[in-house]
Amino acid sequence: GYSLPFAAWCPVIFSLFLLCLALTIGMTVLGLRGSKAPVGQSENLQGLKARLCLTGDANILSLPGPRCSLCPVNWKWDGGDTCFYFSIELATWQESEDYCLSQNASLLMLKGKTKLVCIAQLSARFSYWIGLSYGVDGWSWTDGTKLSTKRMDWITLSPTQNCAYLHYKAKVYSGDCLEKYPWICEKAAVQLI
């Protein structure tokens, strides 16, 4: 076979050497730029956190990492892990429940006095439908949990009126399900971690 003399290969070898050198320099520059990016990204993340995250807890911005709570537009945050929607429209109990379900939420469930106090602080001076109704098995919440009336002196219910509403004075009463009231939906806040 025929082979080219070494001198003929010199331009090819030199071109490959220059290409490798350019690639090495390029990778080094990108590597240095990439190592500086996390600092800039961290600063940007803190700025986004300050603008987007709910700040009911003044310490949330000082928490390490990007963890924060987010609620949909027009929903109120309780300072913890729950968002609440206070409607301004009027609807029957069933229409209210359907709306909450369409928002991947449920009508408000007041299974303890702590949440009642929180809601009373967030709500306006209205009565609102909540997720408590009377069925064949008695009073139960929309998640199927039976109502426990132990030490719940803030609830007054009648089996002749099958749906419950929260009165603005932090009391729960039963009412006609076809009456029209505003309602309160609740769902978990989105946690960015």
Question: For residue range 34-69, what is the model confidence (pLDDT) as tens digits?
Answer: 665 455 666 666 666 666 665 554 444 444 554 677
d(CA 155, CA 150): 10
Question: Does one domain contain both 169 and 104?
Answer: yes
Q: Domain check: are 155 and 179 in the same one? A: yes
Q: b/e per residue, 149-168, with b = 16+ CB within 10 A?
A: eeebeebebeeeebbbbbbe
For residue 23, the model assigns a pLDDT of 84
Residues spanned by the domain of 95: 68-192
pLDDT class of 75 with cuts at 50, 70, 90: very high
Measure Cα distances from 127 to 34, 43, 170, 174 in Å. 56, 45, 9, 11
- For residue 75, the tally of other CB atoms under 10 A from its CB is 18
Whether 137 is covered by a domain: the verdict is yes
- Kindly state whether residue 13 falls inside one of the protein's structural domains: yes
What mean pLDDT is predicted for residues 130-158?
Answer: 86
Same domain, 36 and 89: no
Residue 63 lies in a domain: no
CA dihedral (47, 50, 53, 59) in degrees, to 10, reads: 130
Same domain, 41 and 74: no
Q: What percent of the chain has pLDDT over 90?
A: 34
pLDDT-derived band at 21, boundaries 50, 70, 90: confident
5 CA to centre of own chain: 72
Tell me if 167 is assigned to some domain. yes
Establish if 123 belongs to a structural domain.
Answer: yes
Mean residue pLDDT of the chain comes to: 81
10-14, 26-30, 47-51, 86-90: segment of lowest average pLDDT: 47-51
Count how many domains the chain has.
2
In a domain, 58, yes or no: no
Overall pTM surpassing 0.85 (yes/no): no
| Tokens of residue 142, six digits | 């929309």
Nearest to 128 by CA among 141, 119, 140: 119
User: pLDDT tens for residues 82-102?
Assistant: 899 999 999 999 999 999 999
User: Do 119 and 32 belong to one domain?
Assistant: no
> Could you tell me which residue, 192 or 110, shows the higher pLDDT?
110
Which residue's entry shows tokens 């206070």? 86
So what's the pLDDT on residue 60? 43
Same domain? For 48 and 108 the reply is: no
Do both 102 and 129 map to the same domain? yes
Q: What is the distance between the alpha carbons of residues 182 and 11, in angstroms, rounded to a whole number?
A: 82
Judge whether 163 lies within some domain. Answer: yes
137 and 43 in a common domain: no
Which two structure tokens, joined as six digits, stand for 166? 């929260």
Mark whether 119 and 182 lie in a shared domain.
yes
Cα torsion through 136, 142, 147, 151, rounded to 10: -160
